[in-house]
Amino acid sequence: MKQKLVVFFIVLSFTCLFAQDYSLYFDGVDDYVEIMDAPELNPANTITVEAWVKMENYSGLPTIVAKDDWSSVESGYVLRIDDYSNVNSPQFQIGSYGWFGVQAPQGSIPYSEWTHVAGTFDGSTLKIYINGAEAGSSAFSGSIAQSPCSVYIGGHYNNYVNRQWDGQVDEVRIWNICRTESEIMMDMQNPLTGSETGLVGLWRMQEGTGSTTYDLTQNAFDGSIYGAFWGEGYPMTIEDGSVAGLVLEDSTWVPIEGAIITLGEYETTTFVDGSYTIDVPPGEYQLSCEHDDYLYYTHPENLVVISSQITEINISLTPLVGSHNNSIPKVVELANYPNPFNPSTTISFSVVEQSDIDISIYNLKGQRVKQLEISNVELGMNEIVWNGDDESGKLVSSGIYFYTIISGDFEVSRKMLLLK
């Protein structure tokens, strides 16, 4: 009975502790966290390093995260501020028997504001991201040096001059994969569990007390705290994001009421003015729209929904009745992307029965400039590329064009814009 009471008390205390967000304050003089070297902390070909930071002051090359001891030992990687060659410029570097790096613009990290910083390397390109948006890239082909150094957060054990962080650091993550911009943006405000694919170190800094910050991955690369003290951290959230916009008829721009918007497993219906708003947890979703009187629409790319942010997507639908009235649609999806485009665009369409398809491109004068014929189109989604040329192979001028798809007695048109 006593054992059960003890276990319950520990779990309850742990839950309460994590209810508040904590971080570590570094004094810019001699504070740091040390995580001992391990093979998993030495990715050879791809890496992502990220953290939330709040900077109070800077001078020299203050460290956020580094696998480097600024000695003769080979260095691995470092995420920091460069105040030497480029004032207040976030920088990500990898060691490959020499330093190779990328920098963000000056002033990318404002004083006393929480800012997310991430550096990535995919084997050929270094990139740096500020608040989830790419802020710089640099080409380099090679591998990351296998450094025997510890990983340091906020500074270094020997108080190397001008390498100490003055401010707060929170939510440090090291991956052995190169994460994309959408992946970084999608997860930067969400608390991770430590079980995510490719995550080799996760220090959430939520302990709020003691001299250890724990790694939540199965690797358990716990960090020893020297001098830094606990304070209020970045408020990680898992609040919903929103997708909102209008659904209109593509030729008349009349609002369409009652269109069904689907975002993954979530669904809503447009109002009388054609507007809609759908709230979903952060993540990647496929958006689609359908109505009994209009062609089914699918957004050509997955939407990345960010916590507490609104993504605006306006949709235009084509009536099911084309130039041949009351014909039964054989084409249930039709779109081109990108749109506007230069120099080429991909026309995608989905058919419900095998047939021959004719796609014609017209200019504003109604003159056909290109015909694309496809025989024995397979069921499901199909694609064809228009390179912006006419029947003679000459590139057409910029402007508005219409593409018409004909299958049997069914015909429908869409509009696209060529920019040069």
Tokens matching residue 133: 């948006």
The pLDDT assigned to 16 comes to 34
Tell me: the pLDDT tens digits for 185-212? 889 988 898 999 999 999 999 999 999 9
The pLDDT assigned to 73 comes to 67
Determine the 3-state secondary structure of 386 from DSSP. Answer: strand
pLDDT top residue among 327 and 379:
379
Query: What is the CB-side half-sphere exposure of residue 118 using CA atoms within 13 A?
Result: 29
Tell me: the pLDDT tens digits for 269-284? 999 989 999 999 888 8
Determine the 3-state secondary structure of 176 from DSSP. Answer: coil
CB 200, CB 37: distance < 8 Å: no
CB 280, CB 313: distance < 8 Å: no
In this prediction the pTM is 0.60
Please check the confidence at residue 308 and state whether its pLDDT lies above 80.
no
For the chain, domains (ranges, CATH) are: 20-232 (2.60.120.200), 241-317 (2.60.40.1120), 331-418 (2.60.40.3080)
Mean of pLDDT values over 35-63: 93
336: left (phi over 0), alpha (psi -120 to 50) or beta: beta
Residues of 372-395 as b/e, b for ≥16 C-beta within 10 angstroms? eebeebeeeebebebebeeeeeee
Tell me: the pLDDT tens digits for 112-167? 999 999 999 999 999 999 999 999 999 999 999 999 999 999 988 776 667 899 99
Which residue from 94, 149, 155, 158 is spatially nearest to 126, judged by alpha carbons? 94
Amino acid letter, 8: F
Please check the confidence at residue 252 and state whether its pLDDT lies above 90.
no
Instruction: Tell me how far CA of residue 176 lies from CA of 121, 199, 200, in angstroms.
Output: 10, 7, 7
Tell me: the pLDDT tens digits for 378-389? 777 888 999 999
Percent of the chain with pLDDT over 90: 48
The pLDDT assigned to 72 comes to 56
Tokens matching residue 286: 């496929």
Which residue from 338, 325, 381 is spatially nearest to 357, judged by alpha carbons? 381
pLDDT top residue among 249 and 157:
249
